[in-house]
Amino acid sequence: MSKGRRGAGGRDHTKDKGDLTEMEFTVEATGRGMVVSKPWGDNERYDVVVDAGWHLLWRVQVKLTGARHHRGFAVRASWRTSAKQVSYTPSQVDFIVVRIAEERIWYVIPVRALAGRLTINLYPFGCRKDGRNSFEKYRGAWDLLRGEKVGRRKVKSRKAGSSPRFARDRNDNA
């Protein structure tokens, strides 16, 4: 590592913080039963791929923010060219996953919900003055990476004869 990338407290370069956040995401998602893969190189708009099963692969951009904005945190929901910022599109990335620095708070936000915004604001400790808090429903929305809708839980289908009633009937007859 070059001398200019190390601060007094360790790794404080933006790239290093991003790498560490990607690793934290991988640990968090893997702990929730997901499979996470890291593409070779930094040529794509996404950082990792999440295998949701059922032939679903999600392209995920992982972000870290500590940038305070009034009562919340600002998140750059875009990538940079040499001349300008460009918003992520659904053809490039499926989800942006944001971790609030120094908190254990994660947001799993579909790129479609960004609606072309370059920056979004998250309010995990209360909403903004006008009461709008459009991204709070994505706080902790890990189920989206399993292909589920916000607020819904998948019900696993039971095999024939495996309901509690059938199990009890079989035990009574034994």
pLDDT by 10-residue block (mean), the chain, 174 residues = 50 77 93 92 90 88 86 88 91 96 92 94 77 83 84 41 35 43
Q: Cβ neighbours of residue 118 under 8 Å, at least 6 residues apart? A: 76, 77, 78, 85, 87
What are the DSSP calls for the chain, one per residue? --GGGEETTEE-SHHHHHHHHHHHHHHHHHHTT-EEE--SSS-SS-SEEEEEETTEEEEEEEEEE--EETTEEEEE-EEE-SS-EEE--TTT-SEEEEEETTTTEEEEEEHHHHTT-SEEEE-TTS--TT---TTGGGBT-GGGGGTPPTT--PPPPPPTT-SHHHHHHHHHH-
Domain ranges of the chain: 3-150
Beta carbons of 114 and 87 less than 8 angstroms apart? yes
Instruction: Please give the model's pTM, rounded to 2 decimal places.
Output: 0.76
CA distance 170 to 174: 6
What does the block give as tokens for 128? 């903004």
Instruction: Report the pLDDT value the prediction gives residue 11, as an integer from 0 to 100.
Output: 57
Instruction: Report the pLDDT value the prediction gives residue 2, as an integer from 0 to 100.
Output: 46
Instruction: Report the pLDDT value the prediction gives residue 91, as an integer from 0 to 100.
Output: 95
Instruction: Report the pLDDT value the prediction gives residue 81, as an integer from 0 to 100.
Output: 86
Q: How many CB atoms lie within 10 A of CB 10?
A: 8
**Residue 61: beta bridge partners?**
96
Class of CATH domain 3-150: alpha beta
Which of 96, 101, 54 is closest to 79 using CA atoms?
A: 96
Instruction: Report the pLDDT value the prediction gives residue 8, as an integer from 0 to 100.
Output: 52
Q: How many CB atoms lie within 10 A of CB 20?
A: 13
